[in-house]
Amino acid sequence: MDPSKRPQYASNDKKGNGDNSSVMNGHFEGSVKRPVSATSQPPCAESGSQRPSSAVVESWREERTRSVEDNEMSLPSLAAAYTTILRGLGEDTQRQGLLKTPWRAATAMQFFTKGYQEKIVDVLNDAIFDEDHDEMVIVKDIDMFSMCEHHLVPIFGKVHIGYLPNKRVLGLSKLARIVEIYSRRLQVQERLTKQIAVAITEALHPTGVGVVIEATHMCMVMRGVQKMNSKTVTSTMLGVFREDPKTRDEFLTLIRS
């Protein structure tokens, strides 16, 4: 599609040169996917205590794009596609080692992208608690596995999440579940970082959220420039994590301690 014809959406981050937070390209599932209008205001202008509109929340609740039934129906065509790929590579698909490979690969790809089958609201609804706590909450070194949407090869690394509660807290394991849902999709790291931060913001309406991802991209290690030790670091800071340097510095110091 001609980039000039793509719909434009408001971003939760400030724009600037080299700001990757604007890379939504139609895949940013969830509540922040909203058309820019003369009356709309970027979410970053909202305070931590302000709630999004009910229409926005509904779009977030309806983000599932694939079902278990869809998996069953699409498995034969996926397997057939892998058979075509193997033949295109010059392989004999009838030799013993490859007889079941198309089905195995198709099933594996469905697992690698199982985040399309899950909704954040299903995970979080019973794990948000009223709590008079206003100090920083951090869960760091969350293992992350994803798939590069450009080359269909793995991305893996660590996710660090911090937020300042606003009278509500989230069950700690649910932060890891949010990472799992969004990482188990075809992704770019910039978008993944933003999606995690926005999901937490929409669920809890905290004073601020910070997310940092450090990851290795196999598209840089196995092919292309083939830089074995390269890592990509991305961050999204919302609310006071963006506005207050001391809060941001505290978060960054703690995740590296």
Instruction: Write out pLDDT tens, residues 33-66.
Output: 333 433 434 344 344 334 444 443 444 455 667 8
- The residue ranges of every structural domain in the chain are 65-116, 125-255
The domain 65-116: what is its CATH number? 1.10.286.10
Catalytic-residue membership of 44: no
Catalytic-residue membership of 149: yes
Distance CA 141, CA 107 (A): 28
Q: How confident is the model at residue 63, as a pLDDT?
A: 65
**DSSP assignment string, 128-160:** EEE----S-EEEEEEEEEEEETTT--EEEEEEE
Q: Of the listed 46, 91, 149, 214, which one is catalytic? A: 149
Catalytic-residue membership of 110: no
Find all residues with CB under 8 Å of 207, minimum gap 6, and list them. Answer: 48, 49, 134, 163, 164, 165, 166, 239, 240
Catalytic-residue membership of 219: yes
With bands split at pLDDT 50, 70 and 90, how would you rate the model's confidence at 164?
very high
pLDDT digits (tens, 9 = 90+) for 81-140: 999 999 999 999 999 999 999 999 999 999 999 999 998 888 887 899 999 999 999 999
CATH of 125-255, one of 3.20.20.370, 3.40.50.10260, 3.30.1130.10, 3.90.1150.10: 3.30.1130.10
Residue 141 confidence (pLDDT) above 70: yes
> Of 112-121, 196-205, 222-231, where does mean pLDDT reach its minimum?
222-231
Catalytic-residue membership of 189: yes
pTM (global) more than 0.85: no
Distance CA 88, CA 107 (A): 20
Mean pLDDT over 65-86 rounds to: 93
Tokens of 197: 């931060």
